Amino acid sequence: MTDKKHKTTLEEQTEQAKGKTENELMIEKMQKEIEELIIKNAEFLDGLQRERADFANYKKRVERDHVQSTQDTAGRIAKKYLPVLDDLERALKARPHHGEGHVWSQGVELIYKKLQSILESEGMSEIKAEGQPFDPTRHEALTQEVSDKHQSGEIIEVIQKGYMIGERVIRPALVRVAQ
């Protein structure tokens, strides 16, 4: 009986060892699958994050392009009205201050202010120039003159006003610059 009992125990131990080995193999296989799934999950997460970043960049680019397109259109239209604005300014400089002409010049001034406010509502602004240092991106020098009252490179006088929409120059200011 002891032999039989011993055989049974050996067989049981062998079976248990086989079972344990099979269990260990299954566990190892499952651990490998888990590791592979973790790697795939990380790849998918990385891909998703990249797609989100690409989409966010795309939205920013589309918005920036839209703003630029709007400014370009407004700039082209505003540029066509700038000579009218210049003419009204010249007319107002020579306006009569008394009599019938004075009343008429007030009407012209109202038209000038209305046109100016319409252009400003489209984002147009005047380039400040007189007394400022010369900036070739915003100003166009017509003459350079010796001046005791101004520093070298300082704008002495604005011949024709310059305008911008946003940060884009529509028309540079035409200026006289101190030497």
Q: For residue range 75-94, list pLDDT tens digits in order.
A: 899 899 999 999 999 989 88
Looking at residue 8, its pLDDT comes to 61
pLDDT digits (tens, 9 = 90+) for 2-46: 555 555 666 666 666 665 678 888 999 999 999 999 999 999 999
Looking at residue 99, its pLDDT comes to 80
Rounded to 5 degrees, φ, ψ at 22 are -65, -40
pLDDT digits (tens, 9 = 90+) for 132-179: 999 999 999 999 999 888 888 999 999 999 999 988 899 999 999 998
CB crowding 39-56: b at 16 or more within 10 Å, else e: eeeeeeeeeeeeeeeeee
Token pair of 153 as six digits: 């490179």
DSSP assignment letter at 141: E
| Domain residue ranges of the chain, discontinuous segments joined by + | 124-179
Fold of 124-179: Nucleotide Exchange Factor Grpe; Chain A, domain 2 (2.30.22)
Check if the beta carbon of residue 172 is closer than 8 Å to that of residue 159.
no
Q: What is the CA radius of gyration of the chain?
A: 41
Looking at residue 175, its pLDDT comes to 95
Name the pTM for this structure.
0.64
| pLDDT mean across residues, the chain | 88
Of 13-22, 99-108, 113-122, the least confident: 13-22
Check if the beta carbon of residue 155 is closer than 8 Å to that of residue 134.
yes
What is the rounded CA–CA span in Å between residue 92 and residue 157?
Answer: 18
**How many other CB atoms are found less than 10 A from the CB of residue 178?**
19
131: pLDDT strictly greater than 80: yes
Rounded to 5 degrees, φ, ψ at 135 are -130, 110
Query: How far, in Å, are 3, 64, 76, 82, 165 from residue 15 at the CA level?
Result: 18, 72, 89, 98, 86
pLDDT digits (tens, 9 = 90+) for 38-67: 999 999 999 999 999 999 999 999 999 998
